[in-house]
Amino acid sequence: MFHHLEKSITEAFAALLEARYGVAIAWGTEQPKQAAFGELAVPAAFQLARTLKKPPRAIAQEIVDGLGAVPGVAALEIAGNGYINVRFDRGSYGEAVLRGDGDASRSSGGKLIVEHTNINPNKAAHIGHLRNAVLGDTFVRMLRFTGNQVEVQNYIDNTGVQVADVVVGFRFLEKKSPAQVRELIAGTRFDYVCWDLYAKVSQHYANSEEAKQWRARTLHAIEANEGELAELGHLVADAIVRCHLNTMWRLGIAYDVLPRESEILHMQFWAKAFEQLKERGAIYLETEGKNQGCWVMAATAFKEQSEEGDSKVIVRSNGTVTYVGKDIAYQLWKFGLLGKDFRYRRLQQEPYELWVASGEGEEKAFGRGSRVYNVIDSRQSYLQDVVVAGLRALHYEEQAKNSIHFSYEMVALSPRACADLGIELSEEDKRKAYVEVSGRKGLGVKADDLLDKLIEKAYEEVQSRNGDQPEDRNRAVAEQIAVAALRYFMLKFTRNTVIAFDLQEALSFTGETGPYLQYAAVRASKILAKLADRGGAMPDFAALLPREAFARQLGDEELWQLLLEASKMESAVERAVGSGEPSHVARFAFQLGQAFNTFYQKYPVLDEPDAERRAFLLWMTAYFRSQLERTLRVLGIQAPEYM
Partner RNA sequence: GCGCCCGUAGCUCAGUUGGAUAGAGCGUCUGGCUACGAACCAGAAGGUCGCAUGUUCGAGUCAUGCCGGGCGCACCA
- Among positions 105, 300, 358, 598, the unique one binding RNA when judged by CB under 7 A: 598
Residue pair 534/606 in contact by the 8 Å Cβ criterion: yes
For the bound state, the minimum distance from the C-beta of residue 157 to RNA, rounded and expressed in Å, comes to: 5
Q: Which residues in 322-361 contact RNA (CB under 7 A)?
A: 322-324
For the bound state, the minimum distance from the C-beta of residue 38 to RNA, rounded and expressed in Å, comes to: 7
- Among positions 6, 157, 256, 448, the unique one binding RNA when judged by CB under 7 A: 157
Distance (Å, rounded) from C-alpha 134 to C-alpha 10? 34
- Among positions 8, 358, 380, 626, the unique one binding RNA when judged by CB under 7 A: 380
Strand-strand pairing, 355-358 and 257-258: parallel
The dihedral through the CA atoms of 452, 454, 460, 466 has a sign that is negative
Q: How far is CA 351 from CA 124, 133, 205, 455, 639, in A?
A: 20, 18, 39, 21, 21
CB count within 10 Å of CB 511 equals 9
Name every residue whose Cβ is closer than 8 Å to that of residue 270 and which is 6 or more positions away in sequence: 264, 321, 325, 326, 329
Residue range at the interface with RNA (CB under 7 A); choices 127-135, 230-238, 395-403, 513-521 = 513-521
For the bound state, the minimum distance from the C-beta of residue 479 to RNA, rounded and expressed in Å, comes to: 12
For the bound state, the minimum distance from the C-beta of residue 341 to RNA, rounded and expressed in Å, comes to: 22
Residue range at the interface with RNA (CB under 7 A); choices 13-21, 340-348, 358-366, 523-531 = 523-531
Convert 148-215 into a string of H (helix), E (strand) and C (coil).
Answer: CCEEEECCECCCCHHHHHHHHHHHHHCCCCHHHHHHHHHHCCHHHHHHHHHHHHHHHHHCCHHHHHHH
For the bound state, the minimum distance from the C-beta of residue 486 to RNA, rounded and expressed in Å, comes to: 13
628 binds RNA (CB under 7 A): no
Distance (Å, rounded) from C-alpha 333 to C-alpha 403? 12
Q: Which residues in 17-46 contact RNA (CB under 7 A)?
A: 28, 30-34, 37, 41, 43, 46
Residue with Cβ nearer RNA (107 or 510): 510
643 binds RNA (CB under 7 A): yes
Residue range at the interface with RNA (CB under 7 A); choices 191-199, 203-211, 516-524, 541-549 = 516-524
For the bound state, the minimum distance from the C-beta of residue 346 to RNA, rounded and expressed in Å, comes to: 26
Instruction: Tell me, residue by residue from 386 to 425, as one string, x for binding to RNA by CB under 7 A and - for no binding.
Output: -----------------------xx---------------
- Angle, helices 611-635/127-145, rounded to nearest 10 degrees: 130
Residue 92 Cα to chain centre, angstroms: 36
- Among positions 285, 317, 430, 611, the unique one binding RNA when judged by CB under 7 A: 317
Residue range at the interface with RNA (CB under 7 A); choices 167-175, 486-494, 540-548, 557-565 = 486-494
Q: Which residues in 208-267 contact RNA (CB under 7 A)?
A: none
Distance (Å, rounded) from C-alpha 114 to C-alpha 142? 12
Residue with Cβ nearer RNA (254 or 500): 500
287 binds RNA (CB under 7 A): no
47 binds RNA (CB under 7 A): yes
Q: Which residues in 434-453 contact RNA (CB under 7 A)?
A: 436
Residue range at the interface with RNA (CB under 7 A); choices 165-173, 496-504, 541-549, 553-561 = 496-504
499 binds RNA (CB under 7 A): yes
Residue with Cβ nearer RNA (202 or 399): 202
Alpha helices in 208-268 (DSSP H): 209-224, 227-250, 261-266
DSSP state string for 307-359: -TT-EEEEE-TTSPBPHHHHHHHHHHHHTT-SS---EEEE-TTSSS--EEEES
316 binds RNA (CB under 7 A): yes
51 binds RNA (CB under 7 A): no
The dihedral through the CA atoms of 358, 359, 363, 368 has a sign that is positive
